[in-house]
Amino acid sequence: MKTIRLGAKGPNVSQFGIGAMSFAGIYGDATVEESHAVLNDCRAAGVTHIDTANVYGKGRSEEIIGSWFADTPGARNDMVLATKAAITGDAERPFNNDPDYLESCLDASLKRLGVDHVDLFYVHRFDRAHSPEDLAGTLAKLIDSGKTRAVGLSEIAPATLRRAWTECPIAAVQSEYSLSTRAPELGLVQTCAELDTTLVAFSPVGRAFLTDAPFSYDRAQSMAFTQNNPRFMQPNYNANIAITDNFRALAADMGEPAAALAIAWVIAQGDHVLPIPGTKNAQHLTELLRGTQIDPSAEDLARIEQVLPVGWAHGDRYTAAQWLGPERYC
């Protein structure tokens, strides 16, 4: 398992992490046993990064990880643990970056996780009631408190990252990045590289579109996130399946699972790029992990680009409601 440095001065971490949103039933129910099995398999494969958030299942994901640490001697010492906060669930103020609010959320996360600190604490959404500089000052104080070793931001614009960096080193920025979502190439990939900030890529297999078993239309309509998402609505859904069938055919021709090829492509975008796919299925995890062992050639990357050129996806990646919070940029 290849390792990279998390941020400019952070710990070495596997260039593949497990995103724990799936543990909280976001894409269907996951049992504690299934989630623990995935974490055990990750640890055995040399995966050293776990990413969660306080809103995943209203703390359920963190509780599952905490119970795995409790049941698995030595596991906490092996893992670089990240969590996030700032989404309130309050319609009047959906995001809150107030210092006391963020610290209280972090305290609650530590309790659910059963640890005295996390290695990385993200602000899940930027609250424009604060400037990037003020927010970075708040994060610097959380580092000083010892409750987190490093800090990050999620779904922010390159300019926000630059402004925050003037007050506190930002170890990581989390953003959706995959063959189906290429917006980070409009400045975020480059700015992260310049500032020695790790770009943590969530949904690197395109919410299953870039796998050999994409969600059926009926299944997509049964899950809260995808049922109204533009890419999973007709006629976009059928168009996206037809296009990604070409990617599945290419992966088969190369003798690889489609998900593995998608992960390999993300890793190939830079030594500072770290994909964090999520799964509750051991077989799917095996396919995802295979991507860390593929070193695509320039010819391979060109063939991938040919079947999935920039802008191929039909429909926006978010609904209007889902776009509340993430920063758009160009």
As annotated, the active-site residues are: 56
Give me the phi and psi of 32, to 5 degrees please. -60, -40
Contact status, residue 267 vs residue 273, Cβ threshold 8 Å? yes
Q: How many CA atoms lie within 13 A of 185 on its CB side?
A: 11
In which region does residue 58 sit, left (phi positive, over 0), alpha (psi from -120 to 50) or beta (all else)? left
- Strand partners for 84: 122
Contact status, residue 19 vs residue 276, Cβ threshold 8 Å? yes
Contact status, residue 54 vs residue 104, Cβ threshold 8 Å? no
Cα gap 40→20, rounded to integer Å: 13
DSSP symbol at 87: B
Q: Which helix (H) or strand (E) holds 198?
A: strand 198-202
DSSP symbol at 121: E
3-state helix, strand, coil in the chain (%, to 5): 45, 15, 45
Cα gap 208→48, rounded to integer Å: 23
Cα gap 49→259, rounded to integer Å: 19
Cα gap 83→89, rounded to integer Å: 17
Which structure tokens are listed for 210? 């870039």
Burial class (CB in 10 A: 0-12, 13-18, 19+), 105: buried
CB atoms within 10 A of CB 86: 25
